[in-house]
Amino acid sequence: MDVYAFDPFVPREVIEKDGIKGVDSVEELYSTCHYISLNIPATEKTKNSINLELLSKMPTGATVINTARKVINEVELKQVFVARPDFKYISDIMPDCHQDLLQFENRYYCTPKKQGAETAEANINAGLAAANQIVKFFKNGDKTFQVNK
């Protein structure tokens, strides 16, 4: 499998140093890739940015794997399902339009909200990680996991 990536904040040479193929735009990424994995933060610029225009550019038999939040335009996602019987969508969170998408059997898959973190062990580990990060910040200014820069 060839792996492609686009990140407007990371230089192409950094992306390509590990054998990943960089592309010049998000439009090029969608028109090139059969599988897109969304791993982007929800910002004013990215919210609802994954839309009909981008999804329609994907090759026949395309699949979107969504691990992001609030970046999919769900109204337009439904339009893609209707227009493209070859399109598949996988999400680790149940979208608000879940009931509407159930009609696209074998093309739409999701898990209930927060399913991956709903174990006692996961919650304990998340709490310990957060506490350790706070201690490291106050102890020596460590900003390794700072989200808003």
* Cβ-count burial 109-127 (b if 16+ within 10 Å, e if not): ebeeeeeeeeeeeeeeeee
pLDDT at 112: 78
Total count of domains within the chain: 2
Are 34 and 98 found together in one domain? yes
The parent domain of residue 132 ranges over 119-149
Q: Are residues 95 and 130 in the same domain?
A: no
Residue 111 has what DSSP assignment? -
Largest Cα–Cα distance of the chain, in whole Å? 55
pLDDT in tens, 106-120: 999 998 765 555 667
Q: Span 44-55, mean pLDDT?
A: 96
Q: Which residue has the higher pLDDT, 81 or 149?
A: 81
pLDDT of residue 117: 58
pLDDT of residue 97: 94
Transcribe 42-73 into DSSP letters: --TTTTT-B-HHHHHTSPTT-EEEE-SSS-B-
